[in-house]
Amino acid sequence: MRRLDKYRKLPVYKKAEELAELVEVIAAAIKDGDQKEYYERELIGNSYIVQAKIAGAEGGGLYSLRMQNAVVIRIAVQDMFNAVAASAMMDVNEEDYVDLMREKVEEFRLVFVDWIRGFDKSYDIPDNWAIRYDTSTPEQEKLEELMFDDDKFFNDFDDDDEDTTGLGWDEDDLND
């Protein structure tokens, strides 16, 4: 196996494959009708996203990029579960797969948490979006301080002008 395919051996990827197999069964069981194509796309598309983002996270080493992929994975898994639950509520599925999907998602979640805990937090660079993946990074704290300065913001207000309207006006503005 090539070096680039090492991610396929990871427990999180193997669980993602199990989720994808279940999703294919669920998608095949959806009744023909107006909503069949939507649920199939939602289920199968998100299962592909999960696998692709695992590969992407393993392909890049920066902590923030790996966490970005992890967030997308979490959303995709939740979207898959929501599609299964919605298909059951809309009665477009021959079987009730909600409990089975819930179990598979929980199995995936446990392996997923172990996987992201293994990300190297020290191998990162601060981004200019000030998104906190790790609040202990001094560079990240400094970026966030630059984003909003409490003192400067509140000093812009004049204490003599009292806003009794709640609209940013004082009494003199109302009398003009």
Q: Do 93 and 141 fall within a single domain?
A: no
Within a domain: 65: yes
Q: Quote the pLDDT of residue 165.
A: 47
From 93, 117, 141, give the residue that closes a domain. Answer: 117
**b/e per residue, 36-52, with b = 16+ CB within 10 A?**
eeebbebbbebbebbbe
Please state the domain count of the chain: 2
**Range(s) of the domain holding residue 64:** 3-117
* 62 is a domain residue: yes
pLDDT score recorded for residue 159: 53
> 30 and 112 in one domain?
yes
Assess whether 64 and 81 both reside in one domain.
Answer: yes
The reply to whether 35 and 50 lie within a common domain is yes
Tokens of 145: 């301080």
Q: With bands split at pLDDT 50, 70 and 90, how would you rate the model's confidence at 150?
A: low
Q: Is residue 38 part of a domain?
A: yes
Residues 109 and 63 in one domain: yes
* Confidence (pLDDT) at 33: 82
Query: Does 96 lie in the same domain as 18?
Result: yes
Is pLDDT larger for residue 88 or for residue 44?
44
Is 167 inside a domain boundary? no
62 and 94 co-located in one domain: yes
CATH number, residue 36 = 1.20.1440.60
Would residue 25 count as lying in a domain? yes
Q: Do both 20 and 58 map to the same domain?
A: yes
Q: How far apart are CA 65 and CA 174, in angstroms?
A: 52
Q: Are residues 111 and 127 in the same domain?
A: no
91 pLDDT more than 80: yes
Per-residue pLDDT band for 146 (boundaries 50, 70, 90) equals low
Residue 153 pLDDT exceeds 80: no
Is there a domain that residue 173 lies in? no
149, exposed or middle or buried, with CB in 10 Å at 0-12, 13-18, 19+?
exposed
Domain presence at residue 15:
yes
Do 56 and 131 belong together in one domain?
Answer: no
The pLDDT confidence band at residue 24, using thresholds 50, 70 and 90, is very high
Provide, rounded to the nearest whole percent, the portion of the chain with pLDDT above 90: 47
Name the pLDDT band for 144 (thresholds 50, 70, 90): low
Q: Say yes or no: 113 and 127 in one domain.
A: no
Question: Alpha-carbon Rg of the chain, whole angstroms?
Answer: 24
Do both 68 and 144 map to the same domain? no
Which tokens sit at 126?
């601060």
